[in-house]
């Protein structure tokens, strides 16, 4: 599906996500803080960062706040999201670039910026079909410096329906608890149905994506965190 025809090109849809991300995404803060810890642990000194599907820059913001990155390139198909990211990061005095293009276009671009120590992505790559995920992982490998890492925070599909059903139950429990704490009332079943029914969501299994990373040439591949469908996984070039 072309990015322009996806829900993310619809400003009202992306705003609703930004408002409710803390409810919808299980352990979002913790996952971002784990990515920060990962970067600091594995890369010596401030690093050059590429954030794919940056949205309004929430993950890059986390890394810049902690002084983890020395430069940042943010990519997103949505101009509206990138404008928000630019506003959010304006006080960080370091080289920044905001690239408005889809992942599919990015994979085709021969002259896309390269030489990154760390490529991160959060909740974005599951919008690609399986073959496009594999092509993107290959591209990421080529854009990284030797010794650099790719870390992906994303949703995956369970290897069986029965496990997927349990994952949906623990996701609903998470959202109900968050909603109660934040005084929000939205039927969680509707959120689950929206996630499942939305044509833009094309999660693959974790195993399948770890195999894609291996095929791309990555080493030290692992799942670094998992809570139901929410995962952090990646590897080293
Ligand atoms: C769920 S949001 C996550 C945003 C941000 N990473 C975060 O965690 O807050 C998904 C983002 O991916 C972008 N996106 C979705 N499909 C894309 C594609 N095919 N190419 C480029 N960006 C895409 C959307 O515009 C949106 O900003």
Residue to mutate (ligand 1; options 13, 32, 34, 55; most atoms within 8 A of CB): 55
Tell me the per-residue pLDDT of 64-100, one tens digit each, with 9 for 90 and over.
Answer: 999 889 999 999 999 999 999 999 999 999 999 999 9
Distance between CA atoms of residues 150 and 159, nearest Å: 23
Between 159 and 15, residue with greater pLDDT: 159
Distance between CA atoms of residues 58 and 107, nearest Å: 23
Tell me the per-residue pLDDT of 114-135, one tens digit each, with 9 for 90 and over.
Answer: 999 999 999 999 999 999 999 9
- Alpha-carbon distances of 134 from 13, 44, 62, 110, rounded to whole Å: 27, 28, 27, 17
> What is the rounded radius of gyration, in angstroms, for the C-alpha atoms of the chain?
17
Tell me the per-residue pLDDT of 144-155, one tens digit each, with 9 for 90 and over.
Answer: 999 999 999 999
Residue 32, helix vs strand vs coil: helix
Cβ(136) – ligand 1 distance below 6 Å: no
The full set of domain ranges for the chain reads 3-157+202-236
With b for 16 or more beta-carbon neighbours within 10 A and e for fewer, the 38-49 pattern comes to bbbebbeebbbb
Tell the CATH superfamily of the 3-157+202-236 domain: Vaccinia Virus protein VP39 (3.40.50.150)
Task: Examine the pLDDT at 8 and tell me if it is beyond 70.
Answer: no
Task: Examine the pLDDT at 141 and tell me if it is beyond 90.
Answer: yes
Cβ(130)–Cβ(202) below 8 Å: yes
Distance between CA atoms of residues 82 and 100, nearest Å: 7
Cβ(124) – ligand 1 distance below 6 Å: yes
């Amino acid at each position: 599906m072309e990015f322009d025809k996806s829900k993310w090109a619809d400003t009202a849809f992306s705003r609703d996500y930004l408002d409710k991300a803390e409810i919808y995404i299980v352990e979002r803060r913790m996952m971002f803080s784990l990515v920060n810890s990962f970067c600091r642990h594995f890369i010596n000194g401030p690093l050059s960062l590429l954030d794919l599907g940056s949205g309004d820059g929430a993950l890059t913001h986390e890394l810049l706040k902690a002084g983890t990155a020395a430069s940042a390139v943010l990519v997103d198909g949505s101009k509206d999201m990138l404008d928000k990211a630019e506003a959010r990061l304006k006080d960080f005095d370091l080289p920044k670039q905001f690239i408005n293009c889809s992942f599919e276009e990015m994979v085709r671009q021969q002259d896309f910026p390269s030489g990154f120590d760390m490529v991160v992505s959060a909740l974005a790559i599951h919008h690609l079909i399986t073959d496009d995920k594999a092509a993107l992982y290959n591209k990421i490998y080529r854009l990284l410096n030797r010794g650099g890492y790719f870390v992906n925070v994303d949703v995956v599909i369970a290897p069986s329906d029965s496990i997927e059903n349990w994952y949906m139950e623990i996701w609903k429990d998470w959202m109900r608890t968050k909603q109660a704490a934040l005084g929000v009332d939205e039927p969680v079943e509707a959120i689950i149905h929206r996630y499942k029914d939305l044509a833009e969501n094309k999660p693959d299994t974790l195993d399948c994506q770890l195999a894609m990373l291996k095929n791309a040439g990555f080493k030290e591949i692992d799942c670094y965190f998992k809570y139901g469908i929410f995962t952090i996984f990646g590897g080293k070039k």
